[in-house]
Structure 1
């Protein structure tokens, strides 16, 4: 059985994961509206991943006999700027989520919930991958800057191949 403090923290993380999904779906729609279909595709896959993360947390809470409490999800922005700005916001958001996961792990450790600590290791590893992926796109876009529209279109095409 999961204790109430950890249950509340997991429910808050579920909310954060669903907000992340909502944010990436909004970013995807924005990129699509700007005719950056590859960026849109990449972000739509992020949306799917974040939804899976929320569902994974829900499943864990249910397995531990906890109560799932779905909280309100704020509306994300609808405009994001240039592709570089979109991915800088993506990276900043992933860094924020990493801090939330670390706080959740600290709560599990403080509550001496060893099963939760083991479960959360997956999320810690996942966040390393999420930040690395977003950083790679940001760095590529920073290298080309605004000087080469053809290069932005090339990166857009490459990100459209993500599976």
Structure 2
């Protein structure tokens, strides 16, 4: 990749996506520990999606002739006050990832790298979907106040989610 500024930024995003997968796997473990296997499944699927995102960056950097540089991944949080608090943390994290993607788009435009800008548009759209997905679960949790039989119904619903890699455009 001839543009070293973008190569460095793409590598940073690759590592941020790997951290997201690690964080969501930690959240899955938290939900398993408190007996919400459906919520655990939801977060495990989220982790798989983040790994998929990371590999899209990995492959793109290589396709452009760049060098993938993997760096240390910080330890994720392991405890939350409640399922609601955990879901709120997911939304905050997704908003952070959205800002990171938007900053990358801005950089690609600034650097006049049209191919990278086009590549990143998939992630812009994906982040809208990610935030909507989390908001849907979060709204249900808020209605339930984290209590009652509704929690078990929501847990069962979230247990049906599976990871399906997106098809090539």
TM band (smaller chain): over 0.9
In the TM superposition, 1:1-163 aligns within 5 A as 1-146=1-146, 148-163=147-162
Deviations 1:87-136 (Å, cap 9, x if unpaired)?
10001100000000000111111100000000000000000000000000
Report how far residue 80 of structure 1 moved.
1.6
Report how far residue 82 of structure 1 moved.
1.1
3-state secondary structure, aligned to 1:109: helix
Report how far residue 51 of structure 1 moved.
0.4
Query: More displaced, 22-31 or 73-82?
Result: 73-82
Report how far residue 154 of structure 1 moved.
1.0
Q: Give the TM-score normalised by the residue count of structure 2.
A: 0.94
What CA distance in whole angstroms lies between the structure 1 residues aligned with 2:80 and 2:19? 16
What CA distance in whole angstroms lies between the structure 2 residues aligned with 1:142 and 1:161? 21
Q: Which runs of 4+ in 1 moved over 2 A?
A: none
What CA distance in whole angstroms lies between the structure 2 residues aligned with 1:153 and 1:34? 12
3-state secondary structure, aligned to 1:118: helix
Query: More displaced, 80-89 or 62-71?
Result: 80-89
What CA distance in whole angstroms lies between the structure 2 residues aligned with 1:49 and 1:76? 17
What CA distance in whole angstroms lies between the structure 2 residues aligned with 1:149 and 1:25? 26
Q: Give the TM-score normalised by the residue count of structure 1.
A: 0.97
Report how far residue 153 of structure 1 moved.
1.2
Report how far residue 2 of structure 1 moved.
4.0
Q: What are structure 2's unaligned runs of at least 5 residues?
A: 163-169
What CA distance in whole angstroms lies between the structure 2 residues aligned with 1:129 and 1:17? 16
Aligned residue pair count: 162
